[in-house]
Amino acid sequence: MSERRPQRADAKRNLDALVEAAKSCFAESGVDAPTRTIAEAAGVGVGTLYRHFPQRSDLVTAVFRHEVDACADAAPVLAEELEPDEALVTWLRRYTDFLGTKKGLGKALHSGDPAFDALPNYFVDRLVPALTSLLTTAEAAGSIRPGVNAKELLYAVASLSAPVDSENSAPGTDMVGLLIDGLRYAPQR
């Protein structure tokens, strides 16, 4: 049960390089980017890729988790650097960036492949607490209306960021911006 010799330094380096390379390749060519291409971009052989990620899908989930983590971890940092409401708004923008990044990744998620079943939960488990703390702080400071539910806001922003099928809304209307303003505008009671 104890970790034997921890891990060789080059192995760790290669693993990081692989995740990074995969992130780039997925962003550039979609989640279907060939493993060979990713290995090459990371400067390793395919054998190395497959030792770290026995299945292609393992690499996909690793990238997903990595990006979710990065997004979640940004929350405390912003909370420390900015005023409560600015931290919140900046984080929501950061979150929409994250959503935009994973274009094809969303397709993979709902592809029915059981390899990805755990990801939606991971998404919620990591991001809801992050957003909740920002909301709580901002609410306590009186910067936003009270009673906003983190999970619902997460989903609302996600669906507003989703590409509209064709010409639903005027292209250029910043729906997320409207939503954020809505947060700030406390309802007269």
- Interface residues with a copy of itself (CB under 8 A) are 104, 107, 110-112
Q: Residue 50 binds which one of a copy of itself, DNA, none, with CB within 5 to 8 A depending on kind?
A: DNA
How near is the Cβ of 142 to DNA at its closest, in Å? 51
Choice from 3, 5, 147, 170 touching DNA (CB under 7 A): 5
Q: Which region holds residue 112: left if phi is over 0, alpha if psi is between -120 and 50, else beta?
A: left
> Given the complex with DNA, which of 7 and 111 has the nearer CB atom?
7
> Given the complex with a copy of itself, which of 80 and 165 has the nearer CB atom?
165
> Given the complex with DNA, which of 47 and 187 has the nearer CB atom?
47
Which window, 41-49, 77-85, 89-97, 132-140, contacts DNA (CB under 7 A)? 41-49
> Given the complex with DNA, which of 47 and 163 has the nearer CB atom?
47
For residues 110 and 93, what is the distance between their CA atoms, to the nearest angstrom?
24
Q: Which three-class secondary structure state does DSSP give residue 82?
A: coil
Ranges within 6-35 binding DNA (CB under 7 A) = 7-11, 14, 32-35
For residues 166 and 58, what is the distance between their CA atoms, to the nearest angstrom?
33
Compose the 114-143 pattern: x for residues touching DNA by CB under 7 A, - for all others. ------------------------------
For residues 150 and 137, what is the distance between their CA atoms, to the nearest angstrom?
13
- Which of 91, 87, 100 is closest to 71 using CA atoms? 91
How near is the Cβ of 124 to a copy of itself at its closest, in Å? 14
Q: Residue 76 binds which one of a copy of itself, DNA, none, with CB within 5 to 8 A depending on kind?
A: none
Which helix (H) or strand (E) segment holds residue 49: the answer is helix 46-52
What φ, ψ does residue 142 adopt, rounded to 5°? 75, 15
For residues 27 and 186, what is the distance between their CA atoms, to the nearest angstrom?
38
Q: Would you count residue 107 as binding DNA (CB under 7 A)?
A: no
- Which of 16, 120, 106, 41 is closest to 33 using CA atoms? 41
